[in-house]
Amino acid sequence: MTTPWRATVLTLYPDMFPGPLGMSLAGKALAAGTWTLDVADIRDAATDKHRSVDDTPAGGGPGMVMRADVLARAIDALQLAADRPCLLMSPRGLPLTQARVVELAAGPGPLIVCGRFEGVDQRVIDARGLEEISVGDYVLSGGEIAALALLDACVRLLPGVMGHAASGTEESFAHGLLEYPHYTRPQEFEGRPVPDVLTSGNHKEISDWRRSQAEALTRQRRPDLVARSAKPDGRK
């Protein structure tokens, strides 16, 4: 029997999970055992009566910082296999891309640490090799919502989760482009018809039209993707 894809989340708010991941395709796959979700409370690794996980920042400044010793104990208590990625959701991390999502979905499943407060002590990030990942150029109250987004992106790519295998390949970012426009019934909506090419039955013309639309949208909305794909190694 194939081992299910396994996600482990370390958080101060375990009741936030599975949240939306318990619904729709991800929820059905979770119930079917296609993937598993383990959630652990970071406070269980605290040693004082107040279950403290944070302290004032060295050097001064506002807010609090998550302690290295407490978080390290929480990570170590999980006894993770060496091949499982260890991620920290952080606004200063590398941007999450579809390519990274594909890699994570193809692996055994990650540990995701959800930060809070002003941040996490750098020493535990270095000592436990946490890969910092950002879901956008904005700041959330904590890493939980970002973790939900990352997990949803991964779970939908697991074999059997989506009804049609092509759904995971014919979409935005799969080929460095935004996805082409979609249409369905009715044939006309408020004076706007479905483009004739899509009802022509000519699969080559349809494919060409979709490609040209995707390229035009990408040039208009995401010139950074166009610039990146133009470079020989595909990097920024």
- Contact by Cβ (8 Å): 12, 114: yes
B/e letters for 111-141, b = 16+ CB within 10 Å, e = fewer, are bbbbbbbebbbeebbeebebebbbbeeeebe
- Contact by Cβ (8 Å): 29, 155: yes
For 188-225, the pLDDT digits (tens) are 999 999 999 999 999 999 999 999 999 999 999 999 99
Locate the domains of the chain by residue range: 5-155, 170-230
Helix, strand or coil, per DSSP, at residue 200: coil
For 88-127, the pLDDT digits (tens) are 999 999 999 999 999 999 999 999 999 999 999 999 999 9
Q: What rounded mean pLDDT belongs to the chain?
A: 93
**pLDDT value for 159:** 96
**C-alpha torsion sign, points 95, 97, 99, 105:** positive
For the domain made up of 5-155, the CATH class stated in words is alpha beta
**pLDDT value for 42:** 98
d(CA 122, CA 219) in angstroms, rounded, equals 38
- What is the topology classification, in CATH, of domain 170-230? Trp Operon Repressor; Chain A (1.10.1270)
For 119-142, the pLDDT digits (tens) are 999 999 999 999 999 999 999 999
For 18-51, the pLDDT digits (tens) are 999 999 999 999 999 999 999 999 999 999 999 9
pTM above the 0.75 mark? yes
CA distances from 105 to 34, 98, 109 (A): 12, 10, 7
pLDDT interval class at 231 (50, 70, 90): low
> Tokens for 146?
């970002």
| DSSP single-letter state for residue 161 | T
Residue 235, pLDDT > 60, answer no
Residue 68, pLDDT > 60, answer yes
pLDDT interval class at 167 (50, 70, 90): low
Percentage of the chain lying above the pLDDT 90 cut: 88
